[in-house]
Amino acid sequence: MVVEDEQLGREMMVRMLEHVGWQVIEAGDGETALQLLQKHQPDLVLSDLNMPDMNGFEFITHLRQHKTCSSTRVVVVTAKLLTAEDELWLNNHVDAVFQKGTYSYNELLAKLRQLLVGVVPDDEQKAS
């Protein structure tokens, strides 16, 4: 699942994941994502933090309280300048954090694969 309010960023993330053969559910905000979680149980959630109405922190809190999704892998992809308090909270609630514009496609994809299957192929590690 990709939760991102910026349409272009969401579309790029969805295309990247579909390109490697993953099925992707997308939401433009946390409220919509929570509604989709009533019907779907994703293996992994990629979420932005800066979103209107319900920010990423609130969405992740609700996700963790959702009985069928409490252990779902969560990766945050954000442009937000994180405070020490933000980093502490994220360290306790998500599996990884990527700052927008500071990572490569291969780095993100390798981390997602690692979280989903626990193994990163050697050729992907070299490419990132």
Q: What is the pTM of this model?
A: 0.87
Give mean pLDDT, residues 47-67. 94
Position 119 scores a pLDDT of 45
Query: Any idea where the domains of the chain sit in the sequence?
Result: 2-127
Has residue 123 got a pLDDT over 90? no
In one-letter notation, the amino acid at residue 17 is: L
Give mean pLDDT, residues 59-88. 93
Residue with tokens 């291969």: 106
Pick 2-127's CATH classification: 3.20.20.100, 3.40.50.2300, 3.40.50.1820, 3.40.1190.10.
3.40.50.2300
Q: Where does the pLDDT of residue 118 fall: very low under 50, low under 70, confident under 90, or very high at 90 and above? A: low
